[in-house]
Amino acid sequence: MRTVARILAGLAMASAGVAAWYLAGLLIMAYDVGSVPDFWASERLLAYGLFILAPVLTFAPLARLASIPLLDLEAVFAWSMLLYVWTFVDPEEAQALPTLLLFLVPLTMSLATIFTLFAYLLGARLAARQGRRYDPLRARRQGYLAAMFIVGCLLLRMLEVLSPVNAGLLALIVLLIELLLLARPPASEHSAAS
């Protein structure tokens, strides 16, 4: 009976999350809520609420299942900020560099939340085969490295210098960083050796 209740609660939460993302997308694309000038207009207030509600309904259960510390708060902040900037910040009216940073920072964090979940799922499955427990901080690091690679490629594309060689060099840099960090002994081994 408890299992059925948990499954129904999960389905209700997933349905509410899908509905929140759908309504947020509808407000952005169909109703063009970004063109409403009044900050306190009802359409904008609804958009603000959906920009927070959709990531909460999506990432709170996922972070709890994966046991990754603070992933839910990070995801809510990143996705809410990305949706807000995407919708309400006009790049033609703002200065180029601050607007670019205002867009790229939440984009990096948003991508990192997704890649962190993928890295954790894959790493936990591989670690379970070896009888070990996977470190969620390693998954977060790998998620951020993957996100920085994607955003780096976007920056190179914006500068019109993206080529297969540049993307390959950027991937090599990310891979070397990960290999160097994996080669370090864990903090528990380092403090025990001292």
Q: Classify residue 191: in a domain, yes or no.
A: no
The angle formed by the CA atoms of residues 139, 177 and 188, to the nearest 5 degrees, is 60
Contacts (Cβ under 8 Å, ≥6 apart) of 106:
78, 79, 81, 82, 85
Chosen domain end from 84, 115, 137: 84
Q: Are 104 and 144 contained in the same domain? A: yes
Chosen domain end from 34, 54, 84: 84
pLDDT (tens digit per residue) in 139-148? 999 999 999 9
Q: Are 121 and 166 contained in the same domain? A: yes
Q: Are 95 and 50 contained in the same domain? A: no
Distance CA 111, CA 147 (A): 5
Enter the pTM of the model.
0.86
Write out the two tokens for 31.
């109703």
pLDDT (tens digit per residue) in 34-66? 999 899 999 999 999 999 999 999 999 988 888
How many structural domains compose the chain? 2
Q: Classify residue 15: in a domain, yes or no.
A: yes
Q: Are 21 and 80 contained in the same domain? A: yes
Q: Classify residue 164: in a domain, yes or no.
A: yes
pLDDT (tens digit per residue) in 165-191? 999 999 999 999 999 988 877 665 555
